[in-house]
Amino acid sequence: MSYTFVEGGVCAPKGFTAGGVHAGIRKNPEKKDLALIFADRECAAAAVYTKNKVKGAPLKVTAAHLENGRARAVLCNSGNANTCNADGIYIAEEMCKSAAEILNIDENDIIIASTGVIGQPLPIEPVKASMGALKESLSLKGSPDAASAIMTTDTKLKEAAISFELQGKACFIGGIAKGSGMIHPNMATMLCFVTTDVAISPELLKEACRETADDTFNMISVDGDTSTNDMFTIMASGEAGNTLIEERGEDYDMFKEALFELCRNLSKELAADGEGATKLLECTVKGAPDKATAGKIAKSVVCSNLLKAAMFGKDANWGRILCAIGYTDGDFDVSKAGVSIASSAGRITVCRDGAGVPFSEKEALKILSENEILIEADLCQGEGEATAWGCDLTYDYVGINGDYRT
């Protein structure tokens, strides 16, 4: 399948505008804190949510709104998670009502999300007062403003868009995401909002959403903490003009492949921008008995604090990789495993048949001095393969989270 990454973010697909403003939820007047993505018609819509037992009020409201598989807008604030608040549901619903009135749509057609500090009341007044300006901010070039408005401790704006051909029609998928700390999705604080102009049924869109999340966002980890507000949503306008995708087959597979590529790109951006991070870690496991086992092992490796610290220190301590593989739940033989470490500076094998092999520490240091590190593990006992993404563990991570609330 041929696809191309393009500009435009969530506004690249036909039928969508976006924008963002400073509403006053955050103290810094230079920081946008209220985002809106708006569709010019009713869309098929789907979402997956955190499996944390503590769920933010916006997730509960959104789940109710998406029971019919339809939506027209995404409204998201940063600076406050609206979680563990006695009036959380009321606030989330009031935010939807306020946006619905100014957009002239049904309040039940709004996906609502929040991100920020947990357990702090979210005032509704600044949100309502900013709705006029938020609507005025909507434009075909508004994706960066929306992406900026959902950021918390992120240091980089995260947006992407991809174009591909389906049934002879030019199709687009675009997305924005946020997440830097508390990233260990299980569907960080991780939010991702995707738009597409592909015509697809709500039922299949939901399946594509869930399956893609499992292979992308659920395969990243910054710190092992699963947020209360994780959410991944998709709206499909159908304006590309393709025949409606209503069953699995070639068209569905092509759509899902493009969606996967977009979400993999955003997943890597999320992992690379982990709080205090200096390196993106990518672990690919192959030769596992099955895909599920490969996925568990890859996630174990990128979650290992000892390995993350070693990567920060540019220390090729491969024993920590084998250790993380070894404590992963699954039926496999570590004595057959081989491990290599690579980057744009080269590649070295550090372990073969479960035992260390001689390698140049000087060459290893050169490889680990790059900002993207690939860890490859081959179990040599099956066809299972999976990739996970993470980052190194630095002094700055503790500094950021030591006084996050105060």
Which residue among 50, 153, 189, 284 is the active-site one?
A: 189
CA nearest 183: which of 280, 266, 119, 271? 271
Cα-based torsion angle of the residue sequence 52, 56, 60, 65 in order, rounded to the nearest 10 degrees: -120
Residues 6+ apart with CB under 8 A from 293: 328, 330, 331, 332, 382, 384
Whether 78 contacts 116, CB under 8 Å:
yes
Is 189 among the catalytic positions? yes
Whether 163 contacts 261, CB under 8 Å:
no
User: Beta strand 372-378 with 280-288: parallel, antiparallel or unpaired?
Assistant: parallel
The pair of structure tokens assigned to 96 is 């939807």
- The CA distance from 250 to 256, in Å, is 10
Beta-carbon count within 10 A of 20 CB: 27
Question: Can you give the C-alpha Rg of the chain in angstroms?
Answer: 22
Residues 6+ apart with CB under 8 A from 11: 17, 18, 139, 140, 141, 142, 143, 174, 195
AA identity, residue 338: G
The pair of structure tokens assigned to 59 is 């997730």
Active site residues: 189
